[in-house]
Amino acid sequence: MVVRALPFVGDDAVLVTAVRAGNRAAIAALYDRYEAHVMRTLVRVLGADRELADIHHDVFVRALGSIDELRDPGALRAWLTSIAIFTARTCILRRSRRFWLRLLPWYEVPEVEAPLPNSEVTEALRATYTILDGLPVDERIAFALRFVGGMELTEVAEACGVSLATIKRRLSRAEAHFTEQAREHPALSDWLEGSARWGAPKKR
Amino acid sequence: MGSSEEALIRLGRRIGAEQDEILRRRAPDPEARARLFTADAARRAHPSRQTRKRFVGAALGVAAAACLLLCFVVAQRPLTFHVGAGEGAYAGRAGAFIATPTGRMVPVVFSDGTRLRIQPDSSVRIASVDRAGGRVVLENGALEATVVHHEGTRWLVDSGPFEILVTGTRFHVAWDLAAERLTLHLVEGSVVVAGPILGEGIALRSGDTLEVNRKEGRFVIHRDNPETREAPDVPQNAAEPPSLPEDPPEKTTDAPPPPAPHVPRAAPPRKTTLPPAPPGPSWRDLAASGKYKDALEAADREGLGAIYEAGSAADLRDLGDAARLTGDTARAVEAFSALRRRFPADEQAAEAAFLLGIIAFDKQGAHAEAARWFATYLRERPRGRLAREAAGRLLEARLRSGDKPLAREAARAYLRDFPGGPHTEVARAAAEDE
């Protein structure tokens, strides 16, 4: 006879209470409910990243470690989004410090990743994150959440834990930097020339 | 909403959809939940240790932060510099533009001891300075640089389209804007020079003289130690171990700096000329590193006809992509057509059909022809990795060419095969347009 635990049932507030009490089924349910959302958020910010699985794991470990600090259990999703963004941000900053240190011996010119033969969208995707890699981390995050993630400005501001005005400033700078570089990039320039290939944009 | 923002939203939406598709295909990680349980159990088992760690960490953090702040304030101060010599010298600022008159050399001295001697009839901009170095743009003319090495020193000298990365060294560089010729003579130390023809970076050592003729697409390195350095360094990601024995520096301090662009002034080094073709990195290397324009130029030098007839399927695909991405439609079509002719059963040949469709659609506005290519791809690879894209483009191409019955057919096929795909809305509208 196989005995299986019953799946956890309840809304986010109930779920948070159970996770705080150490209920394993609740922890599993937390993971199942939000693993895809967290992964999507990380992918938006980081792009294709070799460490995605580890960073994804870190987000949930951090969430479990600080679940007692969540004031409004009903806002679990937004809270997890913030943790994912914070974790991705830490990762980017850690790497940029490493990269800086690694650059000091000038003769270590980094390897250039050979592009795979891919479709134009994949080329555009890769080129987008190549440019985003060069932006300041906060501008990069704002840009990725707004344009790639399709989030509203208020959602971006909430996820980043800053005011709407700050997000607008960051987006404005990011947009200018990105557009300037994208126009020079063969895989992106067509996209910025007003091609309506994919139909008129929707208001988001 | 501005057009730029609209374009970014369009681009972002497509990229987001592509990411979602990649995530959808991602293999589930059956161990992920188990790892989370283990990590959570470990956390719950050692709460006090964590608290202690946090307290000790916080105390150490405060102390370290105070020290770091002090060091940071001191260390982050950017270098300062003076332009000119004697009583006429003045403090320069980042962004300073210095144009030297005929017959007069102007020195620039930085607070870390680095010195530039800007030769007569030259234009130089001190583009930026920071705590570890700066960026100097030699717009035209010549300069002699003596860069003092400190930990973390990083100077960049831009000469036209070329970039010279320096830590500690002495060199003369001349850039002739009109002739598009760069001449760099390294007196001591080592530098990396990157730019057109040279690729990602070519390492030079003391005694080397590099001459680049951009117009002719050639470069030459004159070296005075042919036994050890007969061939030029591999430009692509050239890495030079710092422990390599260096040639003795040339006796240059007693002689005046050479007038631009005549370098070097020491005993003439023995000359090593590159083989006639192809100079610099191969077109494949350049294409692989995303330098499509340079790749195409290199392939042209190598002989496009020979590549079309003897290259592999992957070569033809890469060459076609390089041409397509630099806007050279004619060559892209040639390469993709050669790929389809010579390797008709290859996966790449099917994708070449798709890309020929893209070219016909985007670059030539030939929508009927584009539709034929997309249909060809779908016929050859109905479940290929570009099938959804091809089906969507086929629909668009048929709509643009005004063929409503065929467009309806394409729309229905799209909705059947790729429900929820990025062309769903267009397909719904076309399918209902009786």
Q: List the single range of A5-19, A58-72, B62-76, B94-108 with lowest mean pLDDT.
A: B62-76
Instruction: Write the single-letter amino acid at A64.
Output: L
Q: Are residues B113 and B144 in the same domain?
A: yes
Q: Are residues B291 and B223 in the same domain?
A: no
What's the rounded Cα separation, in Å, for the pair A82 and A136? 18
Look at A53 and B325 and tell me if their CB atoms are within 8 Å.
no
CB atoms within 10 A of CB B107: 15
Residue B218 counted as domain residue: yes
CATH 3.40.640.10, domain A1-105, yes or no: no
Instruction: Write the single-letter amino acid at A34.
Output: Y
The answer to whether B317 and B348 have CB atoms below 8 angstroms apart is yes
Residue B175 counted as domain residue: yes
Residue B249 counted as domain residue: yes
Residue ranges of E strands in B271-420: 271-272
Look at A119 and B386 and tell me if their CB atoms are within 8 Å.
yes
Phi, psi of B133 (to 5 degrees): 160, -140
Residues of A in contact with B26 (CB under 8 A): 39
Look at B192 and A109 and tell me if their CB atoms are within 8 Å.
yes
Among A60, A106, A146, select the one facing B36 at the smallest CB separation: A60
Is A170 within 8 Å of chain B by CB? no
Q: Are residues B221 and B321 in the same domain?
A: no
Cα separation values, B128 from A134, B97, B157, B239, Å: 18, 11, 11, 26
Q: Are residues B142 and B251 in the same domain?
A: yes
Look at A191 and B7 and tell me if their CB atoms are within 8 Å.
yes
Q: Is B76 left (phi over 0), alpha (psi -120 to 50) or beta?
A: alpha
Q: Are residues B295 and B421 in the same domain?
A: yes
**What's the pLDDT score for residue B188?**
79
Is A7 within 8 Å of chain B by CB? no
Q: Are residues B320 and B238 in the same domain?
A: no
Cα separation values, B17 from A178, B11, B14, B103, B423, Å: 20, 10, 5, 62, 11
The domain boundary, picked from B218, B239, B272, lies at B272
The answer to whether B136 and B129 have CB atoms below 8 angstroms apart is no
pLDDT digits (tens, 9 = 90+) for A85-138: 999 998 888 776 644 443 333 333 333 333 344 567 888 888 899 899 888 999
Look at B4 and A150 and tell me if their CB atoms are within 8 Å.
no
Look up the ipTM and state it.
0.81
Question: How far does CA A14 lie from the centroid of its chain?
Answer: 27
Q: Are residues B240 and B121 in the same domain?
A: yes
CB atoms within 10 A of CB B92: 19
Q: Are residues B107 and B154 in the same domain?
A: yes
What's the rounded Cα separation, in Å, for the pair A155 and B335? 47
Phi, psi of B78 (to 5 degrees): -70, 160
Is A125 within 8 Å of chain B by CB? yes
SS (H, E, C) A34-85: HHHHHHHHHHHHHCCCCCHHHHHHHHHHHHHHCHHHCCCHHHHHHHHHHHHH
Q: 3-state class of B190 per DSSP?
A: strand
**What's the pLDDT score for residue A194?**
56
Question: Is the model's pLDDT at A201 over the cut of 50?
Answer: no
Which chain B residue shows the shortest CA-CA distance from A67? B40
The full DSSP string for chain A is ----PPPP-S-HHHHHHHHHTT-HHHHHHHHHHHHHHHHHHHHHHH-S-TTHHHHHHHHHHHHHHTGGG-S-GGGHHHHHHHHHHHHHHHHHHHHHHHHHHHHSSTT-PPPPPPPPP--HHHHHHHHHHHHHHTS-HHHHHHHIIIIIS---HHHHHHHHTS-HHHHHHHHHHHHHHHHHHHHT-HHHHGGGGT--TT-SPPP-
What's the rounded Cα separation, in Å, for the pair B81 and B89? 10
Q: Are residues B169 and B299 in the same domain?
A: no
Of the candidates B255, B250, B244, B262, the one whose C-alpha atom is nearest the C-alpha of residue B188 is: B250
Among B9, B239, B288, select the one facing A204 at the smallest CB separation: B9
User: What is the number of CB-based contacts under 8 A between chain A and chain B?
Assistant: 160
What do you get for the CA distance between the two ends of chain B, in Å? 34
- Packing angle, helices B347-358 and B367-380, rounded to 10: 160
Is A102 within 8 Å of chain B by CB? no
Ordered by start, the domain boundaries in chain A are: 1-105, 111-204
Is A187 within 8 Å of chain B by CB? yes
B419: distance to nearest CA of chain A, Å? 16
- What is the residue-level pLDDT of chain B in tens, covering all 434 positions? 556 778 888 888 888 888 888 888 777 777 777 888 887 877 777 654 555 556 666 667 667 676 566 555 555 577 888 888 776 777 887 777 777 777 778 889 888 888 898 888 888 888 778 877 888 878 778 998 888 776 666 778 877 767 777 766 788 888 887 777 888 888 877 777 776 667 656 777 778 888 888 777 778 888 765 443 333 333 333 333 232 233 333 333 333 433 333 333 333 333 333 334 445 678 888 877 667 788 888 888 888 888 888 888 888 988 998 888 777 888 999 999 999 988 888 888 898 999 999 888 887 888 899 999 999 999 988 888 788 889 989 998 999 888 888 999 999 999 998 887 778 888 888 888 76
Among B152, B200, B239, select the one facing A108 at the smallest CB separation: B239
Residue B13 counted as domain residue: no
The domain boundary, picked from B224, B249, B272, lies at B272
Q: Name which of B1, B4, B9, B10 to mutate to probe chain A: the one with the most chain A Cβ atoms within 10 A of its Cβ.
A: B10
Q: Are residues B288 and B176 in the same domain?
A: no
- Arithmetic mean of pLDDT over chain A: 79
**What's the pLDDT score for residue B261?**
33
The answer to whether B71 and B94 have CB atoms below 8 angstroms apart is no
Long-range CB contact pairs, B379-388, < 8 A, 24+ = B380/B349, B380/B350, B380/B353, B381/B347, B381/B350, B381/B351, B384/B347, B384/B350, B384/B351, B385/A119, B386/A119, B386/B351, B386/B354, B387/B417, B387/B418, B388/B417, B388/B418, B388/B421
Q: Tell me the CATH class for A111-204.
A: mainly alpha
**CATH code (residue B158):** 2.60.120.1440
The answer to whether B8 and A183 have CB atoms below 8 angstroms apart is no
For the record, the structure tokens of B262 come out as: 């005549």
Domain extent at residue B420: 283-432
Residues of B in contact with A149 (CB under 8 A): 12, 16
Residue B164 counted as domain residue: yes
Among A22, A109, A178, select the one facing B200 at the smallest CB separation: A109
Element (H or E) spanning B16, and its range? helix B3-25
What's the rounded Cα separation, in Å, for the pair B188 and B165? 14
For the record, the structure tokens of B313 come out as: 């399927």
Query: How does strand B154-159 pair with strand B133-147?
Result: parallel
Residue B408 counted as domain residue: yes
Q: Are residues B155 and B222 in the same domain?
A: yes
Task: Give, in degrees to the nearest 5, the angle at Cα B83 between B81 and B85.
Answer: 115
Among B14, B43, B152, select the one facing A121 at the smallest CB separation: B14
Look at A114 and B289 and tell me if their CB atoms are within 8 Å.
yes
Q: Are residues B183 and B298 in the same domain?
A: no
Residue B42 counted as domain residue: no
Q: 3-state class of B229 per DSSP?
A: coil
- Residue with structure tokens 């000038």? A106
The total number of structural domains that make up chain B: 2
Among A111, A146, A199, select the one facing B425 at the smallest CB separation: A199
Of the candidates B166, B161, B165, the one whose C-alpha atom is nearest the C-alpha of residue B140 is: B161
For the record, the structure tokens of B191 come out as: 């530098």
Residue B243 counted as domain residue: yes
The domain boundary, picked from B221, B241, B272, lies at B272
Which chain A residue shows the shortest CA-CA distance from B384? A119
CB atoms within 10 A of CB B156: 16
Look at A197 and B362 and tell me if their CB atoms are within 8 Å.
yes
